[in-house]
Amino acid sequence: MNNFSKVIRDAMARGKVLVSDGAWGTFLHRRGLEPGDCPETWNLSRPSDVAAVARAYIDAGSDMILTNSFGANPFRLAHFGEESRCFELNRAAAEISRAEASHGGAGRDVFVAGSMGPSGHFLAMGDVSEQALYEGFHIQAEGLLAGGAQGFCVETMSDPVEAACAIRAARDVSRIAAAKNNWAPASLPPVFCTFTFAKTSGGEYRTMIGTGVREAALAAREAGASVIGTNCGGGFSQMIEIVRKIRSFDAETPILVHANAGLPRYEDGKTVFPEGPELMASMVDELVIAGANIVGGCCGTGPDHIRAFVRALRHSKRRAGE
Ligand SMILES: [Zn+2]
């Protein structure tokens, strides 16, 4: 059944890098999603537009793709009055990505990890409890697994306690399914957890609520994440520094990086990302040498970035399976 965990372990053992996908939101906006619309409702109302995003990344060479479920937790869905459809919207998100992945990627297996973004609430402000976060993420993870997700990607986290709630929920949902279906422990869906860091004036990396790289990564690991890392952020060179930092205290855990195409600038009423595919691809090797095992993009990246990563990694013979 699910050999995603094994694929990650094998790639790491062979020193091969897996390629993930890039941004989804930008794509959906290009297809008509208006600012202020709920992107995840498209999983039911416009599935072929969502499938087109998945397909574009598979065609670009991704070994794993995410799902259109970043904001599909009950807390964010509540802004749109959609929280009662949390399970269905997540199930549909995973089904769409799985259907595209099962067509395959020119001879390679493509895996699907269900995206789980932050709730938008802050534990420290007292506007949500840990138990409520856990229960909300539990419904989301159930939907993603029911739709066929082979792993979970808890991402863009800033609070390690919230991240731990999401990770535990995903692990628990997987364990329940494993007991019911007799899955071997080694084939449990992997849980990825990536935090978003900004560089402080002192040169350190901190999340929005002030958590350092080490504290964040250790919390994710302790909660049961089998892949840790960073996403979004201030561009590729910063991601390299963050990966080095993680490797300074953890030599073993696979690291995932979903990098923004640089720090966004606001120009002529538009958000502009400065790092093009070739510039980012020119730094992929350094990111891998720093210790990254799975590389993809976040805001401002698209299929052209992913294609450029694949080319760069093939050139340096770090591409999985080649
Ligand atoms: Zn981003």
The closest of 259, 195, 190, 185 to 227, measured between CA atoms, is: 190
Centroid of ligand 1 to alpha carbon of 184 (angstroms) = 34
**Identity of the amino acid at 152:** F
Centroid of ligand 1 to alpha carbon of 232 (angstroms) = 3
Provide the pLDDT for residue 198.
97
Centroid of ligand 1 to alpha carbon of 20 (angstroms) = 14
What pairing do the DSSP bridges indicate for beta strands 18-19 and 64-65? unpaired
pLDDT > 70 fraction of the chain, expressed in percent and rounded: 98
Average pLDDT of span 200-229: 97
More confident residue, 121 or 320: 121
Residue 320 lies in a domain: no
Q: What value does the mean pLDDT of the chain take? A: 94
Centroid of ligand 1 to alpha carbon of 263 (angstroms) = 10
Centroid of ligand 1 to alpha carbon of 126 (angstroms) = 26
Express each pLDDT in 29-60 by its tens digit: 999 999 899 999 999 999 999 999 999 999 99
Centroid of ligand 1 to alpha carbon of 298 (angstroms) = 4
Confidence of residue 225 (pLDDT cuts 50, 70, 90): very high
Provide the pLDDT for residue 2.
62
- 3-class DSSP assignment, residue 79: helix
pLDDT > 90 fraction of the chain, expressed in percent and rounded: 88
Average pLDDT of span 176-181: 94
- The answer, yes or no, to whether residue 287 has pLDDT greater than 90, is yes
- The answer, yes or no, to whether residue 299 has pLDDT greater than 60, is yes
The CATH number given to whatever domain includes residue 175 is 3.20.20.330
Residue 162 lies in a domain: yes
Centroid of ligand 1 to alpha carbon of 309 (angstroms) = 17
Centroid of ligand 1 to alpha carbon of 247 (angstroms) = 22
Provide the pLDDT for residue 317.
66
- The answer, yes or no, to whether residue 26 has pLDDT greater than 70, is yes
Centroid of ligand 1 to alpha carbon of 258 (angstroms) = 8
Count structural domains, the chain. 1
The closest of 156, 183, 170 to 224, measured between CA atoms, is: 170
Centroid of ligand 1 to alpha carbon of 197 (angstroms) = 11
Provide the pLDDT for residue 271.
85
Residue 115 lies in a domain: yes
Residue 189 lies in a domain: yes
Residue 193 lies in a domain: yes
Residue 33 Cα distances to 23, 30, 120, 273, angstroms:
14, 7, 21, 20
The closest of 29, 74, 64, 20 to 50, measured between CA atoms, is: 29
Centroid of ligand 1 to alpha carbon of 25 (angstroms) = 10
The closest of 300, 271, 190, 205 to 244, measured between CA atoms, is: 205
In the block, tokens 């060479």 appear at: 61
Sign of the Cα pseudo-torsion (208, 118, 43, 85, in order) = negative
Centroid of ligand 1 to alpha carbon of 222 (angstroms) = 25
Query: Residue 94: how many CB atoms within 10 A of its CB?
Result: 26
pTM (2 d.p.): 0.96
- The answer, yes or no, to whether residue 1 has pLDDT greater than 80, is no
Residue 14 lies in a domain: yes
Express each pLDDT in 77-105 by its tens digit: 999 999 999 999 999 999 999 999 998 76
Centroid of ligand 1 to alpha carbon of 124 (angstroms) = 23
Provide the pLDDT for residue 176.
96
Express each pLDDT in 236-266 by its tens digit: 999 999 999 999 999 999 999 999 999 889 8
Centroid of ligand 1 to alpha carbon of 120 (angstroms) = 15
Confidence of residue 291 (pLDDT cuts 50, 70, 90): very high
Average pLDDT of span 173-181: 95
Residue 278 lies in a domain: yes
Centroid of ligand 1 to alpha carbon of 47 (angstroms) = 23
Sign of the Cα pseudo-torsion (299, 304, 307, 309, in order) = negative
Residue 321 lies in a domain: no
Express each pLDDT in 131-166 by its tens digit: 999 999 999 999 999 999 999 999 999 999 999 999
Centroid of ligand 1 to alpha carbon of 299 (angstroms) = 4
Average pLDDT of span 168-184: 95
Provide the pLDDT for residue 319.
65
Centroid of ligand 1 to alpha carbon of 182 (angstroms) = 37
Centroid of ligand 1 to alpha carbon of 185 (angstroms) = 32
Centroid of ligand 1 to alpha carbon of 229 (angstroms) = 13
Element (H, E) at 208: none
Centroid of ligand 1 to alpha carbon of 306 (angstroms) = 15
Q: Which two tokens stand for residue 29?
A: 């906006």
Q: What is the DSSP letter of 209?
A: T
- The answer, yes or no, to whether residue 314 has pLDDT greater than 80, is yes
More confident residue, 107 or 266: 266
Q: Which range of residues forms the domain containing residue 139? A: 4-315
